[in-house]
């Protein structure tokens, strides 16, 4: 039987640079460490809230903090990053090797916080840039438009653990084999299916959306099935493989939407476009939005091109 490990795949694919191969390998190490904690969380006193509230005003879980530390420590040790932006860090983190390293990473260490304690899929999302040569501040390195991403991906800790990435040359997925401790190529050159199956939205927000969103949701109800896990990574991964649209619109309570541009929308938009899909905030392509804040929120419509186009043309 011939298997392709993630290490062999990234070497064989001669990614844009050797550095990106190393970075993806380092992230696969961090993912294994996080997985180890996620699968044992109920046994190790890691469930529950940490007592902190993050920069976005959300309650931080213990596992959010642990995942954040694992990623920061693993990637700092490997010395490829100068700057890091995380959902769980109020400001940009500068590494000890910021002068000699060349890259910037933005990440959501453990997406789907509300699902951590109840054994529902959660995930890690990441977005990678080169350092910005025009930057005057640390923040400038992180405030780059999505089109400048050189790689992006996510890891879903679900009924199996899967890592998906793009480096601008297609989308590849790897399933973790706990027997040998390796991520093995399982999804080659992923393309979103042409005929979508699902729409994913928090239906409880229906009355808080504007009429354009309400009427659009009504059309989706007539043609598709609803699936909504409440972990963006899980909802996106399903729709990537089965076809569909994920949406988190602006609401009365959150007029700029809930999800964050830099470490949620941008990386998934890059993957989605690479798989033949689209991502918009309703007016603008997600990857073209000029960021102004580290924790900037954005309305998000993500998935099959026909459905995302249908929303942008919907009046």
Residue from 28, 86, 112, 271 binding ligand AHM (CB under 6 A): 112
The residues that bridge with 155 in the sheet, in sequence order, are 124, 163
Q: Is the distance from CB of 164 to CB of 172 less than 8 angstroms?
A: yes
Which listed range, 33-41, 109-117, 141-149, 281-289, lies at the site for ligand AHM (CB under 6 A)?
Answer: 109-117
Return the number of the residue (103 or 263) whose C-beta is nearest Mg ion. Answer: 263
Residue from 114, 137, 218, 309 binding ligand AHM (CB under 6 A): 114
Direct distance between the N- and C-terminal alpha carbons of the chain, in angstroms, rounded to an integer:
53
- 95 near ligand AHM, judged by CB under 6 A: no
Which listed range, 27-35, 96-104, 155-163, 229-237, lies at the site for ligand AHM (CB under 6 A)?
Answer: 229-237
Residue from 7, 19, 58, 89 binding ligand AHM (CB under 6 A): 58
Token pair 């476009």 in the structure block, residue = 273
| Residue 275 interacting partner from ligand AHM, Mg ion, none (CB closer than 5 to 8 Å by kind) | none
Return the number of the residue (15 or 269) whose C-beta is nearest ligand AHM. Answer: 269
The H or E element containing residue 187 is strand 182-187
Return the number of the residue (108 or 182) whose C-beta is nearest Mg ion. Answer: 108
- 254 near ligand AHM, judged by CB under 6 A: no
The residues in 78-117 that bind Mg ion, with binding defined as CB under 5 A, are 108, 111
The torsion region of residue 27 among left (phi > 0), alpha (psi -120 to 50) and beta comes to alpha
Which listed range, 108-116, 146-154, 178-186, 208-216, lies at the site for ligand AHM (CB under 6 A)?
Answer: 108-116
Residue 60 beta carbon to ligand AHM: minimum distance, rounded to whole angstroms: 8
Residue 134 beta carbon to ligand AHM: minimum distance, rounded to whole angstroms: 30
The H or E element containing residue 103 is strand 103-111
Q: Is the distance from CB of 22 to CB of 6 less than 8 angstroms?
A: no
Query: In whole angstroms, what is the distance from residue 281 CA to residue 268 CA?
Result: 13
- With contacts defined by CB under 6 A, how many residues of the chain interact with ligand AHM? 13
Closest CA to 236 of 156, 138, 116, 145: 156
Q: Is the distance from CB of 82 to CB of 103 less than 8 angstroms?
A: yes
- 235 near Mg ion, judged by CB under 5 A: no
- 121 near ligand AHM, judged by CB under 6 A: no
SS3 content of the chain, % helix, strand, coil (to 5): 35, 25, 35
Closest CA to 86 of 264, 302, 257: 264
Residues contributing to the site for ligand AHM (CB under 6 A): 58, 87, 108, 111-114, 202, 230-232, 235, 258
Residues contributing to the site for Mg ion (CB under 5 A): 108, 111
């Amino acid at each position: 039987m011939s298997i392709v490990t993630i290490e062999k795949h990234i070497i064989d694919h001669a990614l844009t640079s050797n550095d990106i191969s190393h970075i993806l390998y380092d992230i696969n190490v961090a993912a294994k460490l996080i997985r180890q904690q996620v699968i044992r969380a109920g046994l190790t006193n890691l469930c529950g809230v940490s007592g902190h509230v993050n920069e976005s005003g959300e309650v931080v879980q213990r596992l959010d903090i642990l995942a954040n530390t694992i990623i920061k420590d693993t990637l700092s040790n490997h010395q490829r990053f100068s700057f890091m932006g995380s959902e769980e860090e109020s400001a940009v983190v500068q590494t000890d090797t910021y002068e000699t390293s060349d890259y910037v990473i933005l990440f959501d260490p453990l997406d789907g916080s509300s699902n951590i304690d109840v054994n529902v899929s959660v995930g890690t999302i990441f977005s990678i840039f080169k350092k910005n040569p025009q930057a005057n501040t640390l923040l400038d390195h992180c405030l780059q438009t999505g089109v400048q991403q050189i790689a992006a991906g996510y890891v879903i800790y679900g009924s199996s653990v899967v890592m998906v990435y793009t480096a601008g040359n297609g989308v590849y997925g790897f399933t973790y084999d706990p027997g040998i401790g390796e991520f093995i190529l399982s999804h080659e050159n992923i393309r979103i299916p042409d005929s979508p199956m699902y729409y994913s939205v928090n239906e409880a927000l229906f009355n808080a959306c504007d009429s354009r969103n309400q009427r659009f949701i009504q059309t989706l109800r007539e043609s598709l099935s609803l699936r909504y896990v409440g972990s963006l990574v899980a909802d996106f991964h399903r729709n990537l493989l089965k076809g569909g649209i994920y949406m988190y619109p602006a609401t009365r309570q959150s007029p700029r939407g809930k999800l964050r541009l830099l470490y949620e929308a941008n990386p998934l938009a890059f993957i989605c476009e690479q798989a033949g899909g689209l991502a918009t905030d309703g007016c603008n392509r997600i990857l073209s939005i000029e960021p102004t804040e580290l924790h900037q929120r954005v309305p998000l419509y993500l998935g099959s091109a026909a459905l995302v186009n249908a929303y942008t043309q919907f009046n």
